[in-house]
A = this chain, B = another copy of it.
């Protein structure tokens, strides 16, 4: 048993391929705090292969993307010294995703993804660094920009369907 608080339990995207709890073929990732880093442990299986025995680059990009959006949300809440369950709720969307594949990532071992926010501009644009490890070896690095696109106390401000990134 664990008393970890998972970021995704406070996010509304339950259909998301990467992090939604209700997607039948999704990755179902869970992210949590470990000190100042947000961590995700995830185990690939044969459906997630690229070349035989290796994890697909697109799946690795998905892990980084979804983990970083959750990390941005959790960081924004943490900065305000309040709990993930408190209001207002925030939603972030990916502005850019840069992934560097350093080595092949095997399919036969749990992966660990670690992320942290490196810069926040205008309380809206969050930059994150991310690294993915297999067998304690870093195989992938990522740099991600997340935009705050919705906050529940200002619902009129944003609409994820339209004009998502118009005010960068």
- Which A residues have a C-beta under 8 Å from some C-beta of B? 13, 15-18, 20, 23-26, 46-54, 56-59, 61-63, 65-66, 93-104, 160-162, 164-165
Contact = CB atoms under 8 A, between A and B. Distances in A.
B101 A17 contact: no
A57 B97 contact: yes
A100 B96 contact: yes
Contact of A50 (B18, B25, B58): B18
The 7 closest A-B pairs by CB, nearest first: A58-B62, A61-B61, A17-B56, A25-B25, A97-B99, A98-B98, A15-B49
B54 A65 contact: no
A93 to B, nearest CB: 7
A30 B103 CA distance: 26
A146 B26 CA distance: 27
Most B CB contacts (10 A, CB to CB) among A16, A24, A103 go to A16
A104 B149 CA distance: 12
